Amino acid sequence: MEALHVDDNDEDDAHFQADLARAIAASKANESPATSIATLSSDSEKGIDLGSTPPPAVTTHSSSTFLAERAQLERARLARLKRLRGDSDLDGTGKPPKRRTPSRSTSSSPGSYGDPNGKGKEKVDQEAEIFWDGELRQTANMHAEPGRNGEDGTPVFRLSEIIGDKSQIELAIISTYALQLSWIYKFFAPSTPVILVTQPAPSENGNTTIKEALPNWIRVTPFLRGGRGVMHMKFFLLFYRTGRLRVVVSTANLMDHDWRDIENTVWVQDVPRRPLPISHEPRADDFPSTLERVLYAVNVAPAITSLVSTGHPDIPLSALRAGALRTRWDFSRVRPTLVPSIAGKHEGWPAVLKSGHMALMHAVSRLNPQQRAVSLECQGSSIGAYSAAWLTEFLLSARGASPEASLNAPKSRRAATPMPVSDALKILFPTRDWVRSSVLGEAGGGTIFCRKSTWEAAKFPRNLFCESRSRRGRVLMHSKMIIATFVGTASPTGKDPDSDADSDVVEVRKDQCDTAGYAYVGSHNFTPSAWGTLSGSAFTPVLNVTNYELGIVFPLKDEVDANRVVCYERPPRQYGSRDRPWMQEESEVLNME
């Protein structure tokens, strides 16, 4: 079932056709053997998430041919879908974006407008709202209840506001799983160089690729072993003419449906350019060094080289080499920790700590040095197959505890691991009745996945499930969020209290705790494919990860802080005896021929 697409208004369509015409003319004028790469349209990809296979991309032989065909397809799509709903704006929210007063910062410690250091060396961004200390918001949604779409003073993000003045962007690196190319193309100037990271087409069999998608657009895909797994990261790097870099980590695909009809979560942080580069630190383990590693993993490096050699020698990131981001841009005010999953087999401690739930463990260990136990609420849009061993493995990482003791345990003990209790873990997923009662009904549930065979498996932990309901009314959520609360026990030795080793568990006073918990936001659904599966030994651990994912972890001071950032109703209601999760297989609407 293809995700619901809603027509753009006639004015937007006219703008798009004009942009296409200009791009075709530019392509014909500048075409050369160096840039005559096969082009790709992914506009036909479905708005689907984990557990699904994207439809095949359409490959043509020249940019002009592709763009002409794209224009024809776009006109046909608009005519076909015009009857579904009234016109909508470019953001896909159904409401025009509000005019905002330029803001210095969302922080209580403001810096000079356009310059966090107050030295006036960076040009002022006249119309931009700047987030020098980062900002987490839900996306605008045309179906949110009155007063819950920013009207009550709680701000939301629209994509046009995140991108800002497109004429000021010198380079954009954007990443998505599902893609509506004609829609996202409108948010950037035709002359802006854009690197698009996305899911390999089935014909590419999971191999790395680099192709021209549009004039000035390079499309790349990372390697997927045997074609399995998905490139599921959603992020932006936007380089502005003022020198500012905007980092965006999102849960939304680059499709109008994701930014209008379903709810997503977005984190935005602005980073100033340094007056002079600093020296490179090869052993750095921080946000920019992790981000550079992610860019290498998803095949951005050759795309930068291609842009530089084909007409864009002056882009702000002209080469992706070690330290390129952290030496030129000042990330000192970035507080969250970046947590990636890199698809592949990772062996040995240095490697496993950089990916999946072991990267989460590494981040949480800094927030929870006392090794307090943890209570988790894991909310997402896709459900995996859960074993007791994997859930216990994840809970260990989620408290920041080393898995050495469990890796050294005999296999018989691992096999006998009991399922966690609901006090330790709650899995949030919408029920069938909630989806049916939502604004779009079953037709809106095309990006939410749970297989019937998974749910009905004999040992599946159905007792851990709670209903996922948006705080903004009967809208469906595509957000992925973990709210972790530390509880009052800790091990002063730093060992796992559940292991055979001596632990001497002690009570930790509230004033001894650095934080009350943490939040995770990003592309990871709560699945083994997203977070990885640990094996091997304590001496040589092995982490197998199926997907490429990206998210952030940041501390929570208290319950008030948790309730401020969370996207769903708390406390979540546990499934009743008659509740079933939403399953597309049981939908008459989505299975209509």
Lowest mean per-residue pLDDT among 125-139, 173-187, 210-224, 348-362: 125-139
| From 34-48, 218-232, 307-321, 369-383, the region with the lowest mean pLDDT | 34-48
Tell me if 234 is assigned to a ligand binding site: yes
CATH of the domain at 386: 3.30.870.10
Q: Does any domain span residue 113?
A: no
Do 384 and 525 meet the contact criterion of CB atoms below 8 Å apart? yes
Q: Is residue 406 part of a domain?
A: yes
Domain membership flag for residue 120: no
Q: Which domain holds residue 517?
A: 351-586
Q: Give yes or no for residue 386 having a pLDDT over 50.
A: yes
Least confident of 73-87, 138-152, 195-209, 505-519: 73-87
- Is 449 a member of any domain? yes
Identify the H or E element spanning 183.
Answer: helix 181-185
Give residue 577's pLDDT. Answer: 95
Q: Does residue 250 or residue 515 have the better pLDDT?
A: 250
Domain boundary (309, 333, 366) is at 309
Give residue 262's pLDDT band: very low, low, confident or very high (50, 70, 90): very high
Helix (H, G, I), strand (E, B) or coil at 529: helix
Is residue 497 pLDDT above 70, yes or no?
Answer: no
Of 385, 371, 369, 286, nearest to 327 by C-alpha is: 286
DSSP helix, strand, coil percent of the chain (3-state; round to 5): 25, 20, 50
d(CA 11, CA 30): 29
196 DSSP β-pair partners: 174, 219
Three-class SS of 458-502: CCCCHHHEEECCECCCCCCECCCEEEEEECCEECCCCCCCCCCCC
Contact 375, 484 (CB under 8 A): yes
> What is the Cα–Cα distance from 75 to 96, expressed in whole angstroms?
23
pLDDT 10s digits, 503-556: 333 343 343 355 899 999 999 999 999 999 999 999 999 999 999 999 999 999
Same domain, 274 and 144: yes
Same domain (yes/no): 430, 542: yes
Residues 6+ apart with CB under 8 A from 346: 352, 354, 355, 356, 532, 542, 543, 544, 545
pLDDT at 225 (0 to 100): 92
**Beta-carbon contacts of residue 560 (< 8 Å; ≥ 6 apart):** none
pLDDT value, residue 465: 98
- Catalytic residues, which ones? 232, 478
> What's the mean pLDDT when you consider all of the chain?
81
Structural domain contains residue 277: yes
Indicate the pLDDT class of residue 420, thresholds 50, 70 and 90.
very high
Q: At which of 249, 277, 309 does a domain end?
A: 309
- pLDDT score of 99 more than 60: no
Q: Which among 309, 337, 362 is the end of a domain?
A: 309
The reply to whether 362 and 286 lie within a common domain is: no
Q: Please indicate if the annotation marks 121 as binding a ligand.
A: no
**Average pLDDT for residues 283-306, to the nearest whole number?**
96
Task: Tell me: do 273 and 406 sit in the same domain.
Answer: no
Assess whether 173 and 264 both reside in one domain: yes
* Percentage above 90 pLDDT, the chain: 67
User: Does 285 share its domain with 356?
Assistant: no
Does residue 260 sit in the same domain as residue 406?
no
- 358 and 289, same structural domain? no
- The whole-angstrom separation of Cα 440 and Cα 6 is 12
Residue 340 belongs to some domain of the structure:
no
Q: How far apart are CA 370 and CA 495, in angstroms?
A: 9
Distance (Å, whole) CA 129 – CA 71: 33
Residues 299 and 366 in one domain: no
Contact 253, 176 (CB under 8 A): yes
Looking at the fold, whether 371 and 292 belong to one and the same domain comes out as: no
In a domain, 523, yes or no: yes
Total tally of structural domains belonging to the chain: 2
Claim to verify: residue 293 and residue 177 sit in the same structural domain: yes
Q: Is 324 domain-assigned?
A: no
Once rounded to an integer, what is the mean pLDDT over residues 465-479?
Answer: 97
Tell me: do 427 and 515 sit in the same domain: yes
**Is residue 25 predicted with pLDDT exceeding 70?**
no
Per residue in 137-159, pLDDT (tens digit) is 999 999 998 888 877 778 999 99
Q: What is the model's pTM?
A: 0.80
Neighbours of 417 (CB within 10 A): 16
